Structure 1
Amino acid sequence: MYMATKNSHTMITTITQHKKWFVTIFIIIISSYFIFLKMHVSPKATTVTTTPVNVVQVKASDVPIWLQAIGSVKAINTVMIKVRADGELQKTYFEEGNTVKKGDLLAEIDPQIYQAQLDQAKSVAAKDKAQLNNALISYNRASKLAQAGAGPSQDVNTYRAQVATLKATIEADQAAIDEAQIQLNFTQIKSPIDGRAGQRLIDVGSIVHASDNTGLVTITQMDPISIQFTVPQNNLAAILLANQKNNVEVIALQPNTDKSIAIGKLTFIDSQVSSNSGQVTLKANFDNKQQNLWPGTLISVKLLLRTDKETLIIPAQAIQQGNEGPFVYVIDKDQKAHVRNVELGAAMGDLRQVTKGLQLTDQVVTSGQYRLTEGSVVNIVKQDNVAVKVGQ
């Protein structure tokens, strides 16, 4: 009995020792595994968040500085054609809306009575000339007889007075002929200017009078043509300065666009500023052979004040507004974004002039800037280019 118990105790002891060895070996294996991982597996690298952006290099270019205004197209000359002789309107020679030239025959009034008056004046003049010739003959004969002592000197004086009277009469006759010719010419109505004929206001067959208020037709000069516009008085000094240097260029623009219709020159600066509006009136003349400008039309114009040489320009989309005014994000050599306050000049379509705050070597963010803050690290996805041809 004792022997059995002893053997049983020995067995239990052996099993316990085996468990300890097993646990010890397991712990050693696990520890070795973690030591292996620590020695052979590199630690996970720390990641830095970057913001993808597009950037553009600041460019330099000559920038024209324009002043924009709204004006109206006006004909340089507009003539209401009125009749200058009484009578029946027999015929018209123009088509409504067509172009006419200076001297073109527009209409004709019945000339018969005026032709008769001219013929009568010419016949009176012819009669008086015949009488003058007869008086000259009598005067010369009386002079010769008086010199020879064969005739009285009183006859010489009489014939001399007749000759002088008839000469004056002939001058009056010539004046009557000229007047009759003028009246006859008035029966042919001609255009005084090149232009475009408007609506015919008098029908053929109507009896017209020189005293009538109604005209026959309006002729509007189309080429050249002018645009009248006003600008604030604050711009007057710059305009006067530009006008002293050379002829100031003015461009007429298509509606709702910046595209040119015609290019002209400033021809008139009013001598006074309106006390009511604070505006000064200007005019510019344009060649209008294509008749793109039409009298009475409201139109946008821009006037060239000056050209700034080699000034900095950037895309307008790069500019943001902050509490301190406009700013842009500039990227440094470490690919970090920094806020840069700027002062802006003229706008040129999608470009903007920068007068202060940037340098030619700067790169500014044009896309993705709304996700940036001061010092943000960026990833430059695309390098854009500025079109330096700012033109008009």
Structure 2
Amino acid sequence: MFAGGARAASGAQQSDAERPVPVTAIAAVSDELDRVIDGIGTVAPLQSVTVRPRMGGQVIAIPFTEGETVEKDAVLLKLDDTQLRADLASAEARKAQDEAQVANAKADVERYASLAEKGVASASTLEQKRATNQQLAASIQYDDAVIKNAQTQLGFATVHAPFTGRAGFRQVDVGAIIDANSTNGIVTITQMDPIGVSFVAPGDRFGDIREAMKAGIASVEVSTTDGSRKLATGRLTIMDNAVDAENGSIHLRAQFDNGQERLWPGLPVATRLTVEHRRGVVVPDKALARGPNGLYAYIVQGDGKVARRAVTVAYVTDARALVTKGIEAGEQVVMDGQSRIADGTPVSVTPWSGSPVGELAETSAP
């Protein structure tokens, strides 16, 4: 009876060993996966200027509206230009007077030149007339300079927007006397479209970032800091010329079209910088396990048993791994149940009920 019992127990153990272990599996796919660097940044305008007058005077008009977009060269402020117009008119009148004198002197030169040929006028008198003509001609050049200066000063009485942007709060009112040295200025104009985002990346990634910029693939996606809403996609335009020695990061700036003004200066955003595009075998990162010799995965074979494979991964993005060695497209990779199986274990496969491999990025994006 003892021998019979031992044979029964051995048969039961053998039956348990051959019983398939339930696991879930997903098919590896051939897909393109981006390598990205995640970070946090701040929206920063490419241009922001506090507009100041270039001369002092009394404000007579402020034809812009606070908080609205002003076009380039739009009038922001007008100063009382009565005295400036009078100065310009005086300079123009002086030039007209000098031009009349030059015309008269020129006629004298021509007349005395004719008389000198006939011997009626002396050569010294003719030279004196020519000198007077040249002196009066020089005064015309001086008059032109005075008129140009008066026109310039008159132009300073009207302040224009330096570029298209959104106006902030105005700092002066109609009737106020302002000075060219005022620190507050008239208003701050901020360019909204295009707009920039300033952020940082690990300094040891500068090589990847530089190569991505050279290849033209350094795109940047920004979203709300909680990841709930994508805001815009732009391109990396500037990488700082040095890594910050204090924190080991490198400063970057990207540029975005912002016609709908989803990005606002000072807004904190989450950034995703793409530094590489590569196509290969893609599996969920969850399907990979780490052992003493590196990463491995269990592949479901045609006989219903699993094979343990060493796996090499290029990088992981959004819970998806780009496999360069160890898994082929179309092979079934165990997702759940790795702890209950070993190389050669028979399994009962249940298809993965979660998102397909190609959609994992959308469901697990930060």
Shorter-chain TM range is 0.7 to 0.9
Deviates more, 1:144-153 or 1:368-377: 368-377
Cα offsets for 1:118-174 (capped at 9, x unmatched):
111111111111111111122211111111111122221122111111111111111
**1:50-129 to 2 correspondences below 5 Å:** 50-129=20-99
Partner of 2:327: 358
Secondary structure of the residue that 1:184 maps to in structure 2?
A: helix
Cα offsets for 1:338-374 (capped at 9, x unmatched):
5545344433334332344333353222244455455
Is contact 1:61–1:389 with CA below 8 Å preserved after alignment?
no
Partner of 2:250: 280
Q: Which letter maps to 1:104?
A: A
Partner of 2:318: 349
Secondary structure of the residue that 1:251 maps to in structure 2?
A: strand
What is the number of equivalent residue pairs in this alignment?
A: 348
Q: Which letter maps to 1:333?
A: G
How many Å separate the matches in 2 of 1:342 and 1:257? Answer: 31
Is contact 2:20–2:348 with CA below 8 Å preserved after alignment?
yes
Partner of 1:241: 211
Secondary structure of the residue that 1:272 maps to in structure 2?
A: coil
Cα offsets for 1:11-61 (capped at 9, x unmatched):
xxxxxxxxxxxxxxxxxxxxxxxxxxxxxxxxx9x6764433321122121
How many Å separate the matches in 2 of 1:193 and 1:269? Answer: 25
Partner of 1:329: 298
Secondary structure of the residue that 1:230 maps to in structure 2?
A: strand
Is contact 2:225–2:268 with CA below 8 Å preserved after alignment?
no
Deviates more, 1:201-210 or 1:51-60: 51-60
Deviates more, 1:251-260 or 1:271-280: 251-260
Determine whether 1:154 maps to 2:124. Answer: yes
Deviates more, 1:289-298 or 1:361-370: 361-370
**1:1-392 to 2 correspondences below 5 Å:** 49-246=19-216, 248-257=218-227, 260-309=230-279, 311-320=280-289, 326-369=295-338, 371-372=340-341, 376-382=345-351, 386-388=356-358
The root-mean-square deviation of aligned C-alpha atoms, in Å, is 2.7
Secondary structure of the residue that 1:103 maps to in structure 2?
A: coil
TM-score relative to the length of structure 2: 0.85
The 1:323–1:261 alpha-carbon spacing in structure 2 relative to 1, beyond 3 Å, is same
Is contact 1:314–1:386 with CA below 8 Å preserved after alignment?
no
Percent identity of paired positions between Structure 1 and Structure 2: 31
Q: CA deviation at 1:63?
A: 1.6
How many Å separate the matches in 2 of 1:263 and 1:391? Answer: 17
How many Å separate the matches in 1 of 2:337 and 2:91? Answer: 94
How many Å separate the matches in 1 of 2:357 and 2:345? Answer: 28
How many Å separate the matches in 2 of 1:206 and 1:257? Answer: 48
TM-score relative to the length of structure 1: 0.80
Cα offsets for 1:282-327 (capped at 9, x unmatched):
2222221111222222222222222122x12112343445566554
Is contact 2:69–2:164 with CA below 8 Å preserved after alignment?
yes
How many Å separate the matches in 1 of 2:256 and 2:360? Answer: 24
Larger radius of gyration: 1
Q: CA deviation at 1:246?
A: 3.1
Unaligned runs of 5+ in 2: 1-11
Q: CA deviation at 1:97?
A: 1.0
Q: CA deviation at 1:235?
A: 1.2
